Structure 1
Amino acid sequence: MMGLPRRWNAWLAGLVLLCASAPSLAGHAIYTGRIGNSEITFVIESRNAVQRAIYSYDRYRTPIRLKPAFLHQTYDFGMDELDAAGLPVARLRFNVANFNRWTPQLTGTWTDYRSGKSLPLELKLLAYLDYDESWPAEGHPLLQAASSERFYFQIPTGQGYTAVNTLEVMDKSSGERWQTLALPQPGCNRGMETVQVVLERGLTQVRMEQTAHCPGAVFQWNPMEERFEDMLR
């Protein structure tokens, strides 16, 4: 049997990568705004009827996870904020629940479960990322849920973002990019969970999951150089 033309091999390889990166086939709405007087960045992923979200206070730049929620209505929608142990500590409630390009503003409340204190929540759409398009056209970095004590992470996006070519290491203290990690092979985009951060023998590692169709990546912190180094090369 004759082999497939080279262009078909390339097309099939791209299709495999797209299918293997199924978690990226979701819309990500990126908002900026405030809880009370505190500036925040809020990212919510909509996939089927499940909403997953993270947010960070711009002053601290540490991503905070929210408990995934099933969206069954289009108003008065809420999600629980989780602490480091995964326990609910506060409630974010939105007056509407259309998290897409056509919802330029969100309002609601943030309520602390322990004290009952409630603060107004106001958000404005900064970008919307889908698997086949980005708005605005040049895209916007997608914040990752995992972070270390010193750094947070994001993946650049552009015209579509099913494959990941680089990871951006961001300094929490300044908000500036510390380092760009180039992947030896394009990895699968898994939305806000693309990057994993683990401690290995006292050193921080940044990882991307390896599967049958997705090449993995491991970068380890070198304290002497103050840089992450590729462990798979």
Structure 2
Amino acid sequence: MWLAGLVLLAASPLSLAGHSVYTGRIGGNPITFVVESRNSVKRAIYFYDRHRTPIQLKPAFLYRPYEFGMDELDTVGLPSARLRFDYAIFTRWTPRLTGTWIDYRSGRSLPFELELLVYLDSDGAWPAGTHPLLQAASSDRFYFQVPIDRDGAAVRTIEVMDKSNGARWQTLELAEPGCNRGTATVQVVVERGLTQLRTAQSAYCNAAVFQWNAAEERFEDVLR
């Protein structure tokens, strides 16, 4: 019995994680913010709603909720700014978060405030239903979402979203359910000059690979 439970846990790598999706503002700029909570480790991404290019934050340990901070990383992975939270508990029971964004280069600071939009964990979604989970990887033209109804649920589709207007460009159907790796489920790879979307392969789920067809302006499944 314990062996079956161990296999089930390994098959659902994010079953003990939770994802909180927020909307809000840094200064006067609307943003979308997603944070993964796995025990005391927090991982997060966000984008400015005007540009829709995900920005990675450096993972951080949350030892105490007061004045918790996360470093924003630039395109080469160096800290460029800091989000300092006044009080950081990322659950459905703390629907509003406030803090200060500080630019490391200029020292400029702006207040930010976030309102909880969606909370996903292994028990389900709040509010109930299927919700798109923003992905950290993007291309010059598109960003990506994975619709799920609870954290750790199998991935069945990938939504290709147009950065220019936020509209859905294409929905990709996976031939077989894929592993849910939270905001890192979809990877963007350039292979011989061609852009590919990939999901990870493991002992419990097969990889998916979709390649951009410039003539058709669509991603196509190259494994079928």
Q: When the two structures are superposed, what TM-score results if normalisation uses the length of structure 1? A: 0.91
Q: Aligned letter for 2:146?
A: I
Choose from 100, 107, 110 the match for 1:119: 110
2:59 corresponds to 1:57: no
Structure 1 position 99 matched with structure 2 position 90: yes
SS in 2 for 1:62: coil
- Match in the other structure for 1:140: 131
Matched residues in 2 for 1:196 and 1:132: separation?
A: 26
The change in CA–CA distance for 1:209 and 1:53 in structure 2 (over 3 A counts) is same
Instruction: Give the Cα–Cα distance (whole angstroms) in 2 for the partners of residues 182 and 17 of structure 1.
Output: 24
Instruction: Work out the CA distance in 1 between the residues paired with 2:9 and 2:149.
Output: 16
Deviations for 1:47-83, whole angstroms, at most 9, x for unmatched residues?
0110000000000000000000011111110000000
Q: Are 1:205 and 2:196 counterparts?
A: yes
Corresponding letter in the other structure for 1:67? K
Query: Any stretches of 5+ residues in structure 1 without a counterpart?
Result: 1-11
CA distance in 1, matches of 2:169, 2:4: 33
* Residue in 2 that maps onto 1:5: none
Q: Deviations over 1:93-150 (max 9, x none)?
A: 0011100100110000000000000000111000101122100101321000000000
**Aligned position for 1:84:** 75
The superposition leaves residues 23-43 of structure 1 with CA deviations (integer Å, 9 ceiling, x where unpaired) of 353110000000000000000
Instruction: Name the larger-Rg structure.
Output: 1
Q: Decide whether the 8 Å contact of 2:80 with 2:103 is kept in 1.
A: yes
Superposition misfits of 4+ residues, deviation over 2 angstroms: 12-21
Distance in structure 2 (CA, Å) of the matches to 1:212 and 1:173: 38
Indicate if the aligned counterparts of 1:198 and 1:206 stay in contact, CA closer than 8 A.
yes
Contact 2:158–2:173 under 8 Å retained in 1: yes
One-letter amino acid of the counterpart of residue 105, structure 2: R
What percentage of aligned pairs have identical amino acids?
A: 71
| CA RMSD, 1 decimal | 1.7
- Where does 1:13-32 land on structure 2 (aligned, <5 Å)? 16=7, 19-32=10-23
Relative to the length of structure 2, the TM-score reads 0.95
Q: Does 1:228 align with 2:219?
A: yes
Structure 2 residues not aligned, in runs of 5+ = none
Across the two proteins, how many residue pairs are aligned to each other? 222
